[in-house]
Amino acid sequence: MFNYLEYIREKNFPHIWCAGCGDGIVLKAILRAIEKSGISLDETVMVSGIGCSSRTPGYVDMNTLHTTHGRAIPFATGVKHGNPKLNVIVITGDGDATAIGGNHLIHAARRNIDITVLLYNNYIYGMTGGQCSPTTPTGSRAATAPFGNIEPPFNTSGLAIAAGASFVARADVYNVANCEKMIAMALAKKGFSLVEILTPCPTAFGRRNKMASPVKLMEWLRDNAVPAAKWKKMTEEERRGRMETGVLMDVDKPEYTAEYEKLVTSLRTGK
Amino acid sequence: MSNDHSGRIRMMQGNEACAEGALVAGCRFFAGYPITPSTEVAEHLSVKFPKIGGRFIQMEDEIAAMGAIIGASLTGMKSLTATSGPGFSLKQENIGYACMAEVPCVIINVMRGGPSTGMPTLPAQMDVQQARWGTHGDHGIIVLSASSAQESYEQTIRAFNLAEKYMTPVILLLDEIVGHTTEKVIIPDESKIEIVNRRKPAEKPKDYLPYRETEDCIPTLAPFGTGYRYNVTGLCHNETGFPTNDNKIIGKLVHRLVKKIVMHADDIIEVKKTMLDDAEIGIFAYGSVSRSARSAVLKCREMGIKAGLLEPKVLWPFPKKEVLAMARKVKAIIVPELNMGQMAREVELASRCAVPVHKLGRVDGNPIDPREIVDMIKGVV
């Protein structure tokens, strides 16, 4: 039996997440993946921005840094560049990472700095009460899209791939085993890694979109988040409105802090 | 590191002197974004840091640069960023974070005129109130000023010392004239320079409270990765560093953040006085303008007018006592500055109507000529 108590700050529970929220499922997947990866809690820093997902660090027993809205990645960049020996994990959400923090996301991916970004995508600004985010599907209702969202959504994983990330995966909280596996792979990757984790928000998203019951949203994930093997066999028609899960990008390329260290060594030795 | 030029005389511009001062202070992390007229600070450190194992990074924007230096500081690195007016506006969000989370770092702002992009290449002092109140919420802040390359060097070292001592962001304000004027800097022997490093926790990790209540109101933050696993947040928090909604604890925290600076004001504040003992006209001036003011004092003395100069080396906390002491001795105070009276307002408040305070503000990108100050003094006399 996995002992979660070894990894959490028990006194900070109960957590703030609503009933039916998927964030607790992600938290457990992260902890199991951390155990699997064998990284030391003393040498791990978890950095987050603002939003429901960004409350995760408060519950885990490591060095934790809860920053300003959208800015987790720059703070994490400072931590990693300041002490490259530290394992740096960023917890962020769709609003935090792709709206206010979008610029930081693409540049950290381009730089290929060795941090792992776990992006909880619940398609909505949950903490502020359900306003539409850059990933809210077109037509979905939100507190600030009462007649349905007229904007197209971001393909978040696609954005990270295009910007140059070494490792990009998509996972969801219905398929928990895959979620844990993708996080473990991201933690093991040297370079910028991102896992987009689809997670339900019945309170702020589901309620407005005829999926108020957490079960409904879980069923939606079951039917629409498609493992890569199955995705490959699907027709274009079947793929429409669905998302591929699993590893979307995995490539080895020069990592930022290692390249900086090379520069330091070459200047010092004259080689 | 810089033993090779200790005790030497060097020609440097103010921006380069800041970079050299940072090196001596023990700064080993710089994150920034290019902006005139401060860019030379970044350029200089991009050359120096890789050679000594220091960390330089050019970030995607000013906000990110401010975030990165806070992150680096939490790993124990003395961290610096440099910017100018519009960039300083962008940094305010995370300057507030550094105030709230009590993370030491230094921000150099080589001021330009505004509002908006304003005057990138011309001198101004329009950020002196932004430095105090730019970030939202009640907070204490330390803001230093430099009027020469020599002072840029010395004040950068002091900025780091104060940041580390009081666990707070410290802002150093230069203006374009100071940043870009190349002049003599005497670099003292490193053994004679006082360097302050932040406190380390004395207790074991299990007994550690990052924001423990102490008499001096200063927290002790262990560098990440040293076995002290704690939480840092921009939300109102308790002694453990975790967010709280307890009104008593919130009230105490905000009071302490302000008190931390106020109660140590005598240690922080520094002023320089020139011919002020017998002065009948007092001048209050800082940055490049204080050089014009010094010249004006000498000209006035030649003419038989007893003028004197009070130069604040620390703008915030404001040197209230020193200004009041001057106000009680002189017949009038002149405040020349490259804005429309941002510090004159503080001088008026601090002098408690003891004497008239005359503003001499320029906002057209021209420096203030000593003759303008002399003319105003003649008019007042």
Range of the domain at B323: 272-380
The answer to whether residue B266 sits within a structural domain is no
Mean pLDDT for A30-38 is: 96
The reported pLDDT for the residue numbered B2 is 42
In this complex, the residue of A61, A62, A76 whose CB is nearest that of residue B71 is A76
The answer to whether residue B227 sits within a structural domain is no
B70 and A78: CB-CB below 8 Å? yes
The DSSP call for residue B173 is E
pLDDT digits (tens, 9 = 90+) for B66-108: 999 999 999 999 999 999 999 999 999 999 999 999 999 999 9
Same domain? B33 vs B159 = yes
Please report residues of A whose CB lies closer than 8 A to that of B50: 260, 263-264, 267
Three-class DSSP category at A269: helix
Count other Cβ atoms within 10 Å, centred on residue B124: 26
CB crowding B196-210: b at 16 or more within 10 Å, else e: bebbebeeeeeebbb
Three-class DSSP category at B178: helix
| CB B108 within 8 Å of CB B59 | no
Same domain? B25 vs B171 = yes
The answer to whether residue B236 sits within a structural domain is no
Mean pLDDT rounded to a whole number for chain B: 96
- Give the H or E element holding residue A82: helix A72-82
| Cis amide bond preceding B317, omega within 30 | yes
Q: Which of B192, B224, B245 is the last residue of a domain?
A: B192
Count other Cβ atoms within 10 Å, centred on residue B379: 9
pLDDT greater than 90 at residue A113: yes
Please report residues of B whose CB lies closer than 8 A to that of A61: 229
The answer to whether residue B106 sits within a structural domain is yes
Token pair belonging to A30: 């992260």
Q: What percent of chain A has pLDDT over 90?
A: 98
State how far residue A78 is from chain B, nearest Cα, in angstroms.
4
In this complex, the residue of A41, A83, A267 whose CB is nearest that of residue B50 is A267
Q: Which of B166, B192, B218 is the last residue of a domain?
A: B192
| CB A167 within 8 Å of CB A186 | yes
Amino acid at B286: Y
The reported pLDDT for the residue numbered B6 is 52
The answer to whether residue B311 sits within a structural domain is yes
Mean pLDDT for B224-234 is: 98
What is the chain B residue with the closest CA to A44?
B225
A77 and B68: CB-CB below 8 Å? yes
pLDDT digits (tens, 9 = 90+) for B31-51: 999 999 999 999 999 999 999
B224 and A83: CB-CB below 8 Å? yes
What ranges do the domains of chain A cover? 17-269
In CATH, the number for domain A17-269 is 3.40.50.970
Please count the structural domains in chain B: 2
pLDDT greater than 60 at residue B4: no
Task: Grade residue A154 by pLDDT with cuts at 50, 70 and 90.
Answer: very high
In this complex, the residue of A61, A79, A104 whose CB is nearest that of residue B60 is A104
Please report residues of A whose CB lies closer than 8 A to that of B231: 57-58, 64-66
CB pairs < 8 Å spanning A and B = 136
C-alpha B5 chain-centroid distance = 26
The answer to whether residue B261 sits within a structural domain is no
**Which ranges of chain B would DSSP assign to H, the alpha helix?**
14-25, 39-52, 62-73, 85-101, 128-133, 149-166, 176-180, 247-262, 265-268, 288-302, 320-329, 342-350, 370-380
Nearest C-alpha neighbor of B230 from the set A88, A4, A60: A60
| CB A199 within 8 Å of CB A173 | yes
A57 and B29: CB-CB below 8 Å? no
> Which residues lie closer than 8 Å to A255 by C-beta, 6 or more apart?
A112, A113, A114, A166, A190, A191, A192
pLDDT greater than 70 at residue B3: no
Please report residues of A whose CB lies closer than 8 A to that of B136: none
The reported pLDDT for the residue numbered B52 is 96
The reported pLDDT for the residue numbered A270 is 84
Preferred mutation among B46, B49, B57 to probe A, highest tally of A CBs within 10 A: B57
B379 vs B2, which has greater pLDDT?
B379
State how far residue A171 is from chain B, nearest Cα, in angstroms.
28
Q: What percent of chain B has pLDDT over 90?
A: 97
What is the chain A residue with the closest CA to B96?
A68
The DSSP call for residue B193 is S
